[in-house]
Chains A and B, each alone.
Chain A
Amino acid sequence: MTKNTDQPAAVKNTAVSIAGWPIQQVFRLLEYPFSKIQRGVGIQGMPWIFLLPNLIFFGIFVIIPLFINFAFSFTGGTELFLSNRVYTGTEQYRFLLDCKTFGDPITCREDRFWKGLYNTFIFVFFQVSFLVLFSLITALILNREIRGRGFFRAVFFFPVLLSPVVVALIWKWILLRDGILNAFLVSIGMDKILFFVSPEWAMFWAVFVSIWAHMGFYTLILLAGLQAIQPDLYEAAEMDGTSKERVFWRITLPLLWPNLLVVVVLALIKGVQVFDEVFVLTGGGPGTATQFIVQYIYNTGFTEQVQNFGLASAASIVLGVILFVLTMLQLAVTRARDNG
């Protein structure tokens, strides 16, 4: 008996040792240079050595462009290379922020920037609110013992795997004058609705499609949070005869709070950066009804005959400041909660 049970284990060990051999050799090769490096930088410095490759990429593709972008925002003209551009000081910022009444974009010199900003806030308000709400409801349902749970989890996550352009095109085909939805409306005796001609409908569908596309990701985060809650707590509550509503408000929601905070902050940041889906879906129209701040930056920097990189950079710095404030807000809320 002993022999029978030991044999597979021995085979397994041999297999592991054969598979592990190349890895061991790689580690042996690395042993010498890393020992040298550790002697040089000390044990405290080693994490930085391991982070270095990532930091280099981050520096090249994020930090350096950030500084270049900042420098661009103080220049004017159409030249691409910074060294050829003319320093204009804060002219671009003054131009962007020149408004008679900040509440009314038409009174601003660069009205489209402010329109984009207001549209972004409206979008973020509705998109984030409903995204979090629907993600939470879906996570709560998928956390229960329902038939086909695995299938439904996959179904809700599937849109996340799609490219934003594909998502937008699918919905565009559904919503066009001769799309599936209008065909359905006509089949039940209703008139066609030109969804992309009405500002309200266009904004509604921009929010809806964005929620549809991203909900699966946030649902997954919340589902992970729900599954991390100890079942004992629910059992104890049940034994005490606590109502389901009270269990939700007093156990589920407080323990899910860290995940909810992550979801809100991520959705907020992603919402402010909205561009690709809506750009393909509505083109920013009708008029400027769904033109958001990132599209304004894109149009200013790339689609006009005079590609105003300076103004586009200044607008992107303003967007960066908004995102920075949102992140700080998240940190403040997290710290306040951690401190009791």
Chain B
Amino acid sequence: MLNFKRLLATTSVLATLGATSALAETELRMMWYNDGSESEVMQSIIDRFEAKNPDISVVIDVVPYKSIMESLPIQLAAGAGPDLARVTDLGGLSKYYMDLTPHISDSAYWEASFGPFLDWLAPDSDRISGFMTQLTVTGPYVNKTFFEQAGVAMPGDGATWDEWAAAANDVADKLDIPIPMAWDRSGHRVSGPAIAMGAKMFNADGEPALVDDGLKEMAQRLYDWHQDGTMTKELWGSVSGSSYLGANEDFANGQVVMYMSGSWQIGQFSGTIGDAFDWWAVPAPCGAAACTGMPGGAALVAMKDTKHPEEVGKLMDFLAQEENLAEFYGKNLFIPGHLKLATGGVDFATDDARAKHALSTFAGAVPKISPTAFDLQGYPNNRIMFNALISRLNEAIVGELTLEQAYVRMEEDVAKQLAAKAVD
């Protein structure tokens, strides 16, 4: 009898344990990269989702950005990708995205909230595949403290790239700063100023046409700035191909007067630089055609190979709710990729005047972005153009090619990659 009781007790304990573990029967995996520490904010929102949905658990796999760019496409092609991922190659991976429409409660809300960005994620259809975790705008930061110390007036709104380069050189000379100007080594970063100089990026038929007089104007300047010391070859010249390199650490360490990057650095600078010096976002400098940066951003997308489309839909519906996104954008100091929140619906979690100024500068730049820049961002094969631009321009800067040879190679590289894609 005693043995029977023991058996019963053991069975009850095991049954309870089994029932508890069976509660979270669906596990969703989310591949994520961080610019700062946004996975922590996302985790806190997901914790609330899991509390409301005890049968679903969500695992955030934080990986380096390089893995998102290089490993994720392979995993997706092999049908072994995650259920969800945070991506920046928005259109390039669109063939792997799932259509969330049947699995979300109110597709009208999604269209009203994320309208134009949904097209970036689904260039050839009306699918709803995800939402923007941040909208980004490229543009420069300057070390305002250096300008004040050097007694050099900062060029104002509407100043050209040439005027900014001259001012940055002036400051660097007076204070002995090693790098007057630094740009992220990225084709996306170069494209905004190139469009400002008049680059069209596409021909009359809408086909990519990377090299034109506008692009040459910008490329020539970048080449010259690397030769005359305005920019250091250490950043662009020190690696090959299309590898990304940022100058954020050099800027934060007070080694750079002017740094061309984008709005996603705000949270990081607020944390790393703090009040060590006045880091100041300035409006996109002008060229002959416009004063524009490039739009862009990151999106959380659902993948079509998921085995749990219902649960993924449920999660995405939850995450896309206005209050959750307001929290996410606000805590991370991200420009909202939600149309209603973009019009002042986010309470940014910072008292840092520099961060607030940067946020308003970049948010204010959105209406001034050139339509060409939007077209380029929405073009699914834009990375082909960005990579050709950065890698060949780099080879010219270090003296392996002349600029004319680089232009020819850029066009060949784009044609080669598009041809390879057309074989499918």
Contact = CB atoms under 8 A, between A and B. Distances in A.
B399 interface: yes
A288 B74 contact: no
Interface stretch (B158-166, B203-211, B235-243): B235-243
A77 B233 contact: no
Given A196-B234, A287-B394, A76 B241 contact: no
A104 to B, nearest CB: 12
B77 A80 contact: yes
Interface string A111-137: 100000000000000000000000000
Interface in A273-299: 282-291, 295, 299
B264 to A, nearest CB: 20
Nearest to B179: A177
Nearest to B73: A307
A109 B415 CA distance: 12
B424 A287 contact: no
Contacts of A203: none
Contacts of A170: none
Contacts of B405: 106
Interface of B: 69-70, 73-74, 77-78, 89, 92, 178, 232-234, 237-243, 381, 383-384, 387, 394-395, 397-401, 405, 409, 412, 417-418, 420-421, 423-424
Interface string A293-327: 00100010011111110110000000000000000
A288 B406 CA distance: 13
A78 interface: yes
A284 B401 contact: no
Nearest to A306: B417
A109 B413 CA distance: 10
A225 to B, nearest CB: 39
A182 to B, nearest CB: 12
A291 B395 CA distance: 12
B188 to A, nearest CB: 12
Interface in A171-210: 177, 194, 196-197, 199, 202
A290 B420 CA distance: 26
Interface string A214-253: 0000000000000000000000000000000000000000
Given A80-B78, A111-B409, A305-B92, A299 B241 contact: yes
5 contacts: A106-B405, A197-B233, A282-B239, A286-B233, A307-B73
A141 interface: no
A307 B74 contact: yes
A196 B238 contact: yes
A285 B423 contact: no
Contacts of B239: 282-286
Q: Which among A111, A202, A304, A306 has the greatest number of chain B C-beta atoms within 10 A? A: A306
A319 B293 CA distance: 43
B182 to A, nearest CB: 13
A286 B237 contact: yes
Given A76-B423, A305-B89, 8 more contacts: A282-B239, A286-B240, A287-B240, A287-B400, A288-B400, A302-B70, A303-B70, A308-B417
A306 B413 CA distance: 11
Contact of A197 (B238, B409, B417, B424): B238
A86 interface: yes
A88 B423 contact: yes
B424 A77 contact: yes
A305 B398 contact: no
A286 B74 contact: no
Contacts of A299: 241-242
A304 B421 contact: no
Contacts of B401: 106
Contacts of B399: 287
Nearest to A307: B73
A282 B245 CA distance: 12
A276 to B, nearest CB: 14
Contacts of A302: 70, 74
B379 to A, nearest CB: 11
Contacts of B381: 305-306
Contact of A287 (B74, B78, B384, B395): B395
Contacts of B178: 177
